[in-house]
Structure 1
Amino acid sequence: MGNQISHTQTVDEHDFVAKLDRPFHHIYLPFKRLFDLIFATLLMIPASIIILIFMILVKLETPGKCFYSQERVGLMGQSFKVTKLRSMYSDAEKKSGAMWAKKEDPRVTRVGHFMRKTRVDELPQLWSVIKGDMSLIGPRPERPMFTQQFSEDIDGFEQRLLVKPGLSGYAQVHGGYDDTPAQKLANDMYYIEHFGVLTDVGIFFETIRVVVTGDGAR
């Protein structure tokens, strides 16, 4: 785990159950972790083959590294590194700096568009799930600068940090890369308010559908 960023130090991990008034969630959390470990480990086998194929495609289309790593903000404001397959040109943010994803993003390669549509670029993060930085299901972890900005601009944004970030989630299968921070927050809050076994299982299978069909992902 990395260092905790200052703007999230007021987040109380016990606040999660207190806000929702559902104490059985404490019982579910260790089972959720076990679910993450088992399924992330099993998924790593077919995912490794898919990752290898797209490593070759990324390298053939544009020069540069196949992967990139970024700092993200996770549970209770703890920072950690995520690794993704590169979906943008290698120098995409050299001039513009960090930018919020948008529709028809010119920074994204052709292979990158397909990977984003099917969520293939996220597969290396299965390792983050195994390590415990992430869960299979939860809000997407944001970069520190965006977390800081949105926490200041949008009421309740920090409540996303009350649960572990996820490889997939309600916002990912019901929204897209170009959703506004407020739209993503609304979807994330729906997930937090309905946190539980049935919600996670439903999102898990919905994610499989999106990956196979590309439907619902932009």
Structure 2
Amino acid sequence: MIRQSQRFLTQLYVLADMLCMLLVFGAAYWIKFYSGLLVHYYTVPFVTYLVWSTVYAFAAVLIGFYVGFYTPKRRKRFSYDILKICQVHSLSFLLLLSLLFFGKEVHISREFLALFLGMNLIGLTVYRFAVKQTLVWFRRKGFNKRFVLILGAGKVGRNFHDKLLNYPDLGYEVYGFLDDYQSEHVEEQTHLRPIVGKLEDLEEVLSENRTIDEVIIALPLEAYSKYADIIATCEKAGVKTLIIPDYFDLLPAKPFFDNFAGMPLINIRDVPLDELSNRLAKRTFDIAFSAVAIVLLSPIMLLVAIGIKLTSPGPVLFRQERVGFGRRTFQMYKFRSMRVAPDDSADTRWTVKNDPRRTAFGTFLRRTSLDELPQFFNVLMGQMSVVGPRPERPFFVDRFKEEVPKYMIKHHIRPGITGWAQTNGLRGDTSIQERIRHDLFYIENWSFFLDLKIICKTVVKGLIHKNAY
């Protein structure tokens, strides 16, 4: 059955959070009014600060319950905790400011409030990280275990068992398997937990082994008719039930459950940028960033244009058709780095090492990625984004969509000047499959902070690349 200690642990977390926030209050108060580091005026008594800080702490706990901060997070990454801490304390701080406004507490120190918020974010993050690492250590030592029973010893069940062994820090241990076709799986069980019975023995196994916390249904689609009875049996025993669909290998790492006409649907490809708020945020950032980049980089672009004119005959800019968002084509701009050739010859040829078509100055431009700068104008026009999968020529798109699985998914969002694949070294003469794998990761895990990380990595190490021919 599910551990009864979970409620106790939640209460312990609440008390620890409250204590941490009150300790932070004391530290912030001392820094502001007693350390001598900041100018201060004793216009509001200590008790007033203590009362409002206590209100803040209680508000943070209540908001924490509301946003799911105190739900079990054994299977969550620590980044989830950080996100929730920022969410909880941003909302709590806004609530505190509102209460101070309505309470006409105009003399509360603004510096103290800023210190209190910042130290809360840092203090809670550090203490939660320490707790998580301590729990990981205990679980690796065999404590704080949760036991699971797997229904189905076939491919899906064995796959889950093997993957679970790779994450000992989660603290999960497989009690065993239940399967109706035991003889067929005997040879496959050499490294697995034993098959302890058939599916019809589920109720008996759960009643005799109260240490089992969760039941994992890993049965083939043919066994779908048995699901209702299995779930009813597990709920009767008070055991959590989780289902691994037989088609799990077709699903992304984080499938999204949607609702359509009152029916639950599994969204095979959840794209965060499908949400209007995310699209608006990214587009606003793109416009602001590209406009500033064009202004700041205009002297460099002028020098590049002069360099091209002085070193080879032909236009400064090179335009090429690329496939972008929604599989629509657009004209992508670059500084010309090659000798002028027939319009269609560059559309079906890769650039190779020591390509004879390049000019000497063009080689420098490609090595330093300066030839990409005009694409900021593509961003302003809405054809591209600062960060996203790199766009490809129609000829190669038609070829790769037949050869590379999931290649066309990259067109669910705007292409970018730089991307997750490029900052991980996948540029030029590198694996198309690996590029798509990184592009899919970006599409499914997009966030504003991921965009900033990619931009920073591009500036730090992405400007010069050995594969940029």
* TM-score, length basis structure 2: 0.40
Q: Could you tell me which of 8, 31, 35 is aligned with 2:281?
A: 31
Say if 1:204 and 1:65 are closer, same or farther in 2 by CA, change over 3 A. Answer: same
Quote the offset at 1:145 in angstroms: 1.1
Q: Could you tell me which of 107, 116, 124 is aligned with 2:366?
A: 116
1:81 is paired with a residue whose SS is strand
Higher-Rg member (1/2): 2
Say if 1:118 and 1:24 are closer, same or farther in 2 by CA, change over 3 A. Answer: closer
Determine whether 1:189 maps to 2:440: yes
Letter in 1 for 2:303: I
Whole-angstrom distance in 1 between the partners of 2:328 and 2:273 = 24
Say if 1:210 and 1:115 are closer, same or farther in 2 by CA, change over 3 A. Answer: farther
Q: For residues 49-198 of structure 1, what are the structure 2 equivalents within 5 Å?
A: 49-91=299-341, 98-174=348-424, 175-198=426-449
Determine whether 1:19 maps to 2:268: yes
Determine whether 1:47 maps to 2:304: no
**8 Å contact kept, 2:386–2:417:** yes
Quote the offset at 1:79 in angstroms: 1.0
Letter in 1 for 2:268: K
Say if 1:22 and 1:81 are closer, same or farther in 2 by CA, change over 3 A. Answer: closer
Q: Which 10-residue stretch deviates more, 125-134 or 96-105?
A: 96-105
Aligned to 2:250: none
**8 Å contact kept, 1:210–1:217:** no
The size of the alignment, in residue pairs, is 202
The one-character-per-residue Cα deviations of 1:156-209 (angstroms, maximum 9, x if unpaired) are 110110111001111222222222422322222232232111211100111112
Say if 1:190 and 1:216 are closer, same or farther in 2 by CA, change over 3 A. Answer: farther
Say if 1:65 and 1:23 are closer, same or farther in 2 by CA, change over 3 A. Answer: closer
Quote the offset at 1:20 in angstroms: 4.5
**8 Å contact kept, 1:72–1:144:** yes
Q: Could you tell me which of 430, 447, 450 is aligned with 1:199?
A: 450
Which protein has greater RCO, CA pairs closer than 8 Å, 6+ apart? Answer: 1
Q: Which 10-residue stretch deviates more, 139-148 or 106-115?
A: 106-115
Quote the offset at 1:70 in angstroms: 1.1
Quote the offset at 1:114 in angstroms: 1.8
Whole-angstrom distance in 1 between the partners of 2:278 and 2:346 = 43
Letter in 2 for 1:176: R
Quote the offset at 1:94 in angstroms: 7.2
2:374 is paired with a residue whose SS is helix
Quote the offset at 1:66 in angstroms: 1.2
**8 Å contact kept, 1:210–1:216:** no
Quote the offset at 1:19 in angstroms: 3.5
1:76 is paired with a residue whose SS is helix
Quote the offset at 1:39 in angstroms: 0.7
The one-character-per-residue Cα deviations of 1:82-110 (angstroms, maximum 9, x if unpaired) are 11100112128876862123333332222
Whole-angstrom distance in 2 between the partners of 1:23 and 1:190 = 12
**8 Å contact kept, 1:75–1:164:** yes
1:179 is paired with a residue whose SS is coil
Whole-angstrom distance in 2 between the partners of 1:65 and 1:217 = 25
**8 Å contact kept, 2:320–2:332:** yes
Q: Which 10-residue stretch deviates more, 32-41 or 82-91?
A: 82-91
Q: Which 10-residue stretch deviates more, 63-72 or 110-119?
A: 110-119
**8 Å contact kept, 1:172–1:217:** no
**8 Å contact kept, 2:385–2:415:** yes
1:99 is paired with a residue whose SS is coil
Name segments (4+ residues, structure 1) moved above 3 Å.
17-25, 92-97, 215-218
**8 Å contact kept, 1:118–1:217:** no
**8 Å contact kept, 2:375–2:417:** yes
**8 Å contact kept, 2:318–2:333:** yes
